[in-house]
Amino acid sequence: MKIQVLGSGCANCKRLYELTTEIVRESRLEASVDYITDVSKIIELGIMQSPVLTVNGKPVMTGFVPNKEKIKDLIFKELN
C-alpha cells in the first residue's frame, strides 16, 4: 500500500505526515508513507488545498488535519 501526504511544507502538513507515520507504525501496516512538498503534485490531482492525504493514489482527505482516529479510519476504509 502506498500512502502519501502532500503539502506545501507548512506546520499542518508536517503534523499530518507525523500522525500518518505513527498510525502505520502502530498498526503494523505494510505501507510506505511519503511526504511530498511539490505543490504541482497537488494541482495534478485536481486539488487546491493543503494538506492532502492519498491512499494508493486516491485522495481521501484535503484541507485540514483531523484527529488521529479519523485519519486511521480513512486509511483503513481504503484497505478494505
Question: Rule CB under 8 A: which residues touch other proteins?
Answer: 7-13, 39-40, 42-51, 59, 63-67, 70
DSSP state of 56: T
- Among 10, 43, 48, 79, which one carries the catalytic annotation? 10
| Closest CB to other proteins among residues 11, 28 | 11
CB 1 within 8 A of CB 31: yes
- Among 6, 13, 19, 33, which one carries the catalytic annotation? 13
| Closest CB to other proteins among residues 30, 48 | 48
| Closest CB to other proteins among residues 28, 57 | 57
CB 4 within 8 A of CB 58: no
The grid coordinates of residue 75 equal 486509511
CB 2 within 8 A of CB 24: no
13 is catalytic: yes
Q: Which residues belong to the active site?
A: 10, 13
